[in-house]
Structure 1
Amino acid sequence: MDVTIVLLILLLGAVVTYFSGNKAASKVALLFSAVAFGASLMILNQYNQGIDCGFSAVWMTNPNILFSLKADGLALAMVLLTTVLTPLIILSSFGNNFNNAKNFYALVMFMAFAMTGTFLASDGFLYYIFWELSLIPIYFIALLWGNGDAAERKKAVIKFFIYTFAGSLFMLVGFIYLYQKAGSFQLDKLYALELSATEEFWIFLAFFFAYAIKIPIIPFHTWQANVYQKAPTVGTMLLSGIMLKMGLYSVIRWQLPIAPNAAQELLYTIVGLSIAGVIYGSIVALKQRDLKKLLAYSSLAHVGLIAAGCYTLTLDGLRGAVLQMIAHGFVIVGLFFAAEIIYRRFETRTIADMGGIRSQSPKFTSMFMILVLASVALPGTFNFVGEFTVLYSLFQTNLAFAIVGGTTIILGAFYMLRMFQQAMLGETNAKPFADVSFNEGIVFVLIIGFLLFFGLYPKPIIDLITPSIQDILVHIK
């Protein structure tokens, strides 16, 4: 078995979901996404036994393009993140009623297919195809099933599409130039190129524009908060939990090893921008009254810290960034799900209109509190492992970066705990708040269980990703 089976299951799932009809669509999508997760676990088991689970076949001869998929520990970690979160995100949506549900869930499955392909592709052209394909379903998910005024939603979604598509064009130009030099889009051939300092500089920038928009890094972040707010919660989960990881993963897999000298030269500038995003996101989050927007800016702050870890060019920085990518994926999906549950009961996302939930729903309150504590990197949670490792790498690079970057913990604790106090405590909202349903409880328990288990025992994930990161660092140093 190789990794193509995961892609085939997800693609087949999208097709079958579309033809299953509106009533059965959500259950069919959940079934196929769960099967894809099972296949990912089987491939992981083969990988741990030393079996190569990659795939390569000639796709085109002129230009020279291969349909090649790389299944190392780093790629498999991201594939597992995608195939774990996708069924959880689908299950979390069972409390919603979507018009044309078969279209909605088919797009969710197709997006999971495209994101998985992005993480696995080892041919630059194939990688670019998957990268662009992932943009199409989220565009329609946010546009057709989003929240709020239709005109404002359309404006936010179009801005997102133009930003990300324009950034991707710079990356495509970079790949075309590299192909002229190497005669191939293959990852190993691009790693082996000896580029001049000027060539590396422009290649680095071409990739940076694409990744900085997707992550996002300030000042390329202006699309993020509005799209997170306007998209349906399922779309917001896909964007924040998985899709932004495509940019962070690509920095490690593609940008740094191809243009290592430019990365060294621009290290302080890029890390500085990333750290600025930490401060900016935290300060703006303090002022938010809408719960989804607060979580959006909180996410901006956390991914800024992850990006800073990537660009330190150290083993601890890259490893900590990957650990935090995974932890952030779970915790942000859990937090947006909590916000969705509150909206289902109270029909508001305004924090000031909430309150008194603890007295009506102790189970929900307890699980929400654990997610909040994980978000602020409480020791014992998986987020602490990744965040501590990233901060340690920043300390190795520059003490000031570590001190300023550490403010994400202090500011994050302040605005998250204040939000929790306002939403969950105080006077009771006039509307009743039912405790979590069985399906809602399953989603919370699985997310919290993952965060606590790997917070206490992160070794399996560290062992999985470290050899791949060490191989990449050979091309950076």
Structure 2
Amino acid sequence: MIALLLILVPLVSGLVTFCIKREEQVRTWSLLSAIITFIIAILGVAVYSTPDSWTFKAQWMGLLNSSFSLGGDGMGIMLCMLTALSYPVIFLSTWTTAYKKINNFFGLMLLAQAGMMGVFLAMDALLFYFFWELALIPVYFICSQWGGEKRIAVTFKFFIYTFIGSLLMLVGILYISSKTAGNSFDITAFYNTGLAPKEQGWLFWLFFVAFAVKMPVFPFHTWQPDTYQQAPIAGTMVLSALMVKMGVMGLLRWLLPVLPVASYSWGDTVSTMAVTGIVYASLIALRQNDMKRLVAYSSIAHIGLMCLAVFAEDKSALQGTLIQMFSHGINILGMWMIVAVIERKFGTTKMSDLGGIAQKAPALAFFFVIIAFANIALPLTNAFIGEFMMFNGILSSGVTQYGIPLMATAGLGIILGAVYTLNMGRRVFFGNTNALTEKGTDITFHEKAVLAIIVGAILIIGVYPQPLLHSFDQISQSILKHSDVLYLLKKH
């Protein structure tokens, strides 16, 4: 029942929001919905050990042998918690941002939340595809209606990329379903299909392209920097903190376990693409003058490392990926909040126009420094745990003979990440003020409170990650069990 409520509350609230006309009521109603969803997620974590607390199954498309099947494992629950936590933070951090037709904006935001919750909880392939598309449509309208000057062309490109990927995945889903006992879409049936290696080979790319576009992974990333720059800041937060996790989760739940032989066969190819993306995005980030584009390319590099760790197919790498999914969501939210505050106060995100902000906004500078340290995975921050485990898993991977060169090349991304992140801090926050920043003021109390939540999560997870690691132990073992490649190759 918990799983159903996590979808229904934002779904119903979003539909009701379209009918509310007064701005204050729209904001209050949307924030109340986000808080209620967060409370439900917390209650769900509290009763996780109770049998069937996260399970819901009902008749849906009987003619197609597809059911409305929801369930929560360690990964799905973590992503639902991240989504539930992020929405109040997003609404509070953009509380004073003006929107035309504000009821439509917040209604679409809540519908996107419902779609993402469904993606993280769906245990039926057709239902998974339904929510995958449901999450895309509201974000498309958010970006196209409330974005920047180039929003139409940029959003069209984003939609085409993701829509083509989704159609490819649908073809793969239908084909695999036809090979299951009883033409089922149930996730267990998909895991037990036992497809031949040749079939898995071409099916792999149907699924991988869809997930790679959403993450995004090089060379399917070209829609991302422009979209992040042109989207309204709340939409960018949803895209970067939450929607990219749909792609990573797709790899872990629907690709490796369903197509294990192909995942092994194409693993080195994908790993090379991921490493290329890490270095490429990091080098491009070094050359950026706009903070939005810098943070966008930074996200590509971080997601590339997660993709590399997934295809290492090692327990340490998988657990590191899972904890990094949560940590990256928290950290990137913090970075976008800093960018949003600066843009609102000074009307620009160009680093060449800024400088010396720490003198006028010391609290903002304090929060930025901690979030920046997390972004470069400094010890005692949340990202350090995930990155350490991912690198450890990549090095000890048993499915690739290129573990050391892959790890060494990916390590360049860590070094370059420190360079461009600290350089951004130096140019924006330190040094002398100029005519634009001289009249700056510090952040408000509610902005401090929201950033304090982000920083608190960074430090708590960084110091004591054990609860998260414990919750990911079972799902990591399950993924590895279904993708035991050496056994499956002998079988075939």
Aligned to 2:454: 447
Write the letter of the residue equivalent to 1:111: A
Rounded to whole Å, the distance in 1 between the matches of 2:427 and 2:207 is 42
Aligned to 1:423: 428
Aligned to 1:160: 158
Aligned to 2:92: 91
Summarize deviations over 1:291-327 as a string: whole Å, max 9, x none.
Answer: 1000000111111001111111111111111111111
Aligned to 2:268: 268
TM-score, structure 2 normalization: 0.95
Summarize deviations over 1:376-431 as a string: whole Å, max 9, x none.
Answer: 00000000011111111111131111111111211000011011000001221324
Aligned to 2:487: none
Shift of 1:275: 1.0
Rounded to whole Å, the distance in 2 between the matches of 1:386 and 1:125 is 32
Rounded to whole Å, the distance in 2 between the matches of 1:429 and 1:12 is 48
Aligned to 1:82: 83
Can you give the 5+ residue segments of structure 1 that lack an aligned partner in the other structure?
Answer: none
Q: Say which SS state the counterpart of residue 289 (structure 2) adopts.
A: coil
Shift of 1:52: 3.7
- Equivalent positions of 1:3-82 (< 5 A) are 3-23=3-23, 24-82=25-83
Aligned to 1:174: 172
Aligned to 1:189: 189
Shift of 1:433: 1.5
Can you give the 5+ residue segments of structure 2 that lack an aligned partner in the other structure?
Answer: 398-402, 485-492
Between 1:373-382 and 1:41-50, the stretch displaced more is: 41-50
- Equivalent positions of 1:58-457 (< 5 A) are 58-147=59-148, 149=149, 152-182=150-180, 183-397=183-397, 398-431=403-436, 432-457=439-464
Q: Say which SS state the counterpart of residue 95 (structure 2) adopts.
A: helix
Rounded to whole Å, the distance in 2 between the matches of 1:408 and 1:125 is 37
Shift of 1:21: 2.0
Write the letter of the residue equivalent to 2:427: Q
Write the letter of the residue equivalent to 2:366: S
Write the letter of the residue equivalent to 2:214: K
TM-score, structure 1 normalization: 0.98
Aligned sequence identity (%): 37
Rounded to whole Å, the distance in 1 between the matches of 2:202 and 2:69 is 26
- Describe the shift of the 1:464–1:153 C-alpha distance in structure 2 as closer, same or farther (beyond 3 A): same
Q: Say which SS state the counterpart of residue 57 (structure 1) adopts.
A: strand
Shift of 1:2: 2.9
Q: Say which SS state the counterpart of residue 95 (structure 1) adopts.
A: coil
Alignment length (residue pairs): 474
Rounded to whole Å, the distance in 2 between the matches of 1:358 and 1:273 is 39
Structure 1 segments, 4+ long, off by >4 Å, are none
Write the letter of the residue equivalent to 2:405: A
Q: Is the 8 A contact 1:13 1:33 kept in 2?
A: no
Rounded to whole Å, the distance in 2 between the matches of 1:162 and 1:474 is 36
Write the letter of the residue equivalent to 2:176: L
Q: Say which SS state the counterpart of residue 47 (structure 1) adopts.
A: coil
Rounded to whole Å, the distance in 1 between the matches of 2:192 and 2:302 is 33
Write the letter of the residue equivalent to 2:447: E
Shift of 1:49: 4.1
Write the letter of the residue equivalent to 1:277: G
Write the letter of the residue equivalent to 1:137: P
Q: Say which SS state the counterpart of residue 21 (structure 2) adopts.
A: coil
Q: Does 1:468 align with 2:475?
A: yes
Q: Is the 8 A contact 1:16 1:28 kept in 2?
A: no
Question: C-alpha root-mean-square deviation of aligned residues, in Å?
Answer: 1.0
Write the letter of the residue equivalent to 2:242: I
Rounded to whole Å, the distance in 1 between the matches of 2:451 and 2:388 is 25
Summarize deviations over 1:58-92 as a string: whole Å, max 9, x none.
Answer: 11221101000011111101110111101111111
